[in-house]
Homo-oligomer: A and B are copies of this chain.
Amino acid sequence: MKFTHEHTDGKARACLLETGRGVIHTPSFMPVGTIGTVKAMSPDELKEMGAEIILCNTYHLYLRPGHEIIKSLGGIHTFMNWDRPVLTDSGGFQVYSLSALRKIEDDGVHFKSHLDGSMHFLGPKEAMEIQQALGSDIAMVLDDCTPYPSTHEYAFTSLYRTVRWAEQCKELQREGQALFGIVQGGLFEDLRRKSAEELIRIGFDGYAAGGLSVGEPKDDMHRMISFTAPLLPEDKPRYLMGIGDLGDVLKAVETGFDMFDCVMPTRNARNGTLFTSRGRISIKREEFKADPGPLDPECQCYTCLNFSRGYLRHLFLSKEILSMRLNTIHNLFFYLQFFENMRKSIQEGNFTEFGTRWKPILT
């Protein structure tokens, strides 16, 4: 995996991440394909709208259908018919946020499946085995997500657990799969610094910030984003995990983050909330009943080029599958366009103007 800076504008970076399965232009947005499908989308549609990499969830795929089945069906790319890069998370965050019960021990986590209540164990060895069976292009180390709020003492213990697990994951890394470390440390700057130092000592192909957007105030989140970015190596990709509110993304790109994932565009689409160049709209509103115009007159997506707000409202109220499809196409296209234009603004030295123009629309 090769990472090249193309342009910088302040601390914001436009880079190229070259993988065996294609180039990723950063800042990059990764649509979330939880269980091996970006909800409501076909792989062809994702390509058409310009998605260069997607994220799949190790936790979900481990539970269903199981990584061994995916391996026997040719790995995650063949399984879902997606030949571009895939990043898999380690499962750590889902165990933290989804499982009915979890018991953290030094060598891993015992947890209860949110699907059927069965008990499972996930340690660094398991996380690597699963991700290797899936065959993702970028794997993540197993991390212990520090809850909010946490005491300094708890965050410290949790952080060192993540560091030890990261070390073990690194030892198990195999040729052909990149591995990213994950900075933890809660809201404590000294711990975030320590975490970054330890991970850099171990040495990874990229560095992520985890444990944010877990309930903390926005100001604290922004503070930690700004604080963490410069701790991470300049010559490696920096990935801000799970954060996709575009206002937060602007903030993070400004500080030097490169990669993002979030369910926001896809989940909102299914709930009828659509992103437009004039702000969010809820498609179910009465005023759109007989509106012949497109969702967003400035948008060139399949939905906006072919269907009226009146039709989209009707599909949404009727709970039609096509509603979820067309809304998802629009929101993902909007996100990917936003990232492309943000990248352009960095290349042209206009990133600040780009942010200034978008901030009032995004809030």
Most buried by B among A307, A314, A326: A314
How many copies of this chain are found per oligomer?
A: 2
Most buried by B among A41, A79, A292, A322: A322
Q: Say how far A116's CB is from chain B's closest CB, in angstroms.
A: 12
Q: Say how far A329's CB is from chain B's closest CB, in angstroms.
A: 9
Q: Say how far A275's CB is from chain B's closest CB, in angstroms.
A: 20
Kindly state whether residue A338 has any CB partner on chain B within 8 Å: no
In whole angstroms, what is the CA distance A73 to B306 when docked?
13
Give A320's nearest chain B residue, CB to CB: B37
Q: Quick one: CB contact mask for A142-186 with B, threshold 8 Å, 1 for yes? A: 000000000000000000000000000000000000000000000
Choice from B35, B80, B81, B314 contacting A318 with Cβ under 8 Å: B35
In whole angstroms, what is the CA distance A296 to B314 when docked?
35
Kindly state whether residue A308 has any CB partner on chain B within 8 Å: yes
Choice from B80, B289, B307, B314 contacting A35 with Cβ under 8 Å: B314
Choice from B74, B302, B325 contacting A325 with Cβ under 8 Å: B325
4 A-B pairs with least C-beta separation = A40-B321, A65-B314, A37-B322, A81-B306
Q: List 25 A-B contacts (CB under 8 A).
A: A35-B314, A35-B318, A36-B311, A36-B315, A39-B321, A39-B322, A40-B325, A41-B322, A42-B322, A42-B325, A43-B306, A65-B310, A65-B313, A69-B289, A69-B310, A73-B308, A73-B311, A74-B292, A79-B308, A79-B311, A81-B306, A81-B307, A81-B311, A321-B324, A321-B325
Interface residues of chain A, those whose CB is within 8 Å of chain B, are 35-37, 39-43, 64-65, 69, 72-74, 79-81, 289-290, 292, 302, 306-308, 310-311, 313-315, 317-318, 320-322, 324-326
